[in-house]
Amino acid sequence: MAHQRNFPQSKEALLKSYTSRLKDDVRSMLENFEEIVKLARGDADTQLSRLAQSEQDTYEMHVRAANIVRAGESLMKLVSDIKQYLILNDFPSVNETIAQNSKVFRQKQTECDQKLMSLRDDMAADLYDLEEEYYTSIYK
């Protein structure tokens, strides 16, 4: 690298690992694709019969196609790993979400406290009315 970035050692190693995985998988896909194209052209100067050469080329194409698929799956796994890394290590976003949730929950707590206090006042008034009715009743 021409310039040094301010990443901790583990982040730097992880980024190098991601870069090397990306390069290796793309190189593998490209090389296998080039070989499939070469095999599709066919070689006229071979020591095998045409049928045997055709079967061998077909088999090699299948193997190389499987290698391309494997490299593609590896790239998809790499993308998934990068997304997971970014999600888990995106502290400003996580902190913002936590702050928003805390604000929402504080508002809900305030609303619940107000409703409970209103309910308490209503119950106290009703209890007072009931006690007054009981103590002034002639049916005690």
> Is there a domain that residue 128 lies in?
yes
Question: Which domain covers residue 32, as residue numbers?
Answer: 9-136
Residues 24-42 pLDDT 10s: 999 999 999 999 999 888 7
> Is there a domain that residue 130 lies in?
yes
Q: For the chain, what is the domain count?
A: 1
> Is there a domain that residue 2 lies in?
no
* pTM (global) more than 0.95: no
> Is there a domain that residue 93 lies in?
yes
Greatest C-alpha distance within the chain = 123
Q: What's 136's DSSP letter?
A: T
Span of 52-56, 116-120, 121-125 with lowest mean pLDDT:
52-56
